[in-house]
Amino acid sequence: MIQLTPTEARVLGVLIEKSTTTPEQYPLSTNALTNGANQKNNRDPVLSLTEDEVFDAVERLREKQLAVRVDTVGSRVHKYKHTAGETLRCRAGELAVLAELLLRGPQTLGELRGRAARMSPLNTLDDAKTMIRALAEHAEPLAKEIPPAPGSRAERFIQLLAPDAHPIDAAAPVPTSSAAVSPGGRGLADRVAALESEVAMLRSALQRLAAAVGEPDPLESAANSGIAANAAAPAE
């Protein structure tokens, strides 16, 4: 089975992510790869890799047939794109979920569904579960279920390409009472995570719509109005 270092895992996750979220800027130069690997959002842990470290990692990914170099006529800058779909035999939805696991480590179904949906349509938790199951059922499994995080009842999943990329914390007790799990087997924490992801997606869509028609962010305006009203209210 292909095994990756934590740096290789981060670089591969970035290549998969950017191929769908910013296709106009893809393939990626070493500089763009470094910026993507060191992003502060959608990354866990946040890293500070150098261009040399990223270059070494992407060259090792080439050796493992997970990336290729693209040379453009008239350009001295080498660019790279992933070949994970072909090498690992994954569909787009599986790659999206795998990329999130590479970039952020262990996650619940609700978290994966909300985050990976920006790369590939995942309309329901069942869609996310289908992708996870497919990754786990590969001849050489690419993901597996792990115990819930301490204090949580929601099952989590982790990628297996780079076992050292994300430490797994101590497992919380697995719930056995019917009160801990909702009908259909979904834990409360998982449903809350799914709702939070949906709210974040709806807010983002509303902000993009407002920007497209030249209007300010309505949610920010409402929040500012509420703050002003509270400030103007007489103290009791």
pTM over 0.85: no
pLDDT digits (tens, 9 = 90+) for 149-200: 889 899 999 999 999 999 875 433 444 333 333 444 445 555 555 566 566 5
Domain 6-88 and domain 92-193 have a common topology: yes
Class of domain 6-88: mainly alpha
Find, among 151, 39, 150, 158, the residue nearest to 101 by Cα. Answer: 158
- C-alpha angle with apex 24: 23 to 30, nearest 5 degrees? 80
- Out of 3.40.50.720, 1.10.10.10, 1.20.1250.20, 1.10.3720.10, select the CATH number for domain 92-193: 1.10.10.10
d(CA 232, CA 198): 33
Three-state SS annotation for 4-33: CCHHHHHHHHHHHHHHHHCHHHCCEEHHHH
pLDDT tens-digit series, residues 20-43: 999 999 999 999 999 999 999 999
Given this model, what pLDDT does residue 169 score? 59
Q: For residue 234, give Cα distances in angstroms to 22, 226, 228, 230, 231.
A: 49, 14, 12, 9, 8
Domain boundaries in the chain? Answer: 6-88, 92-193
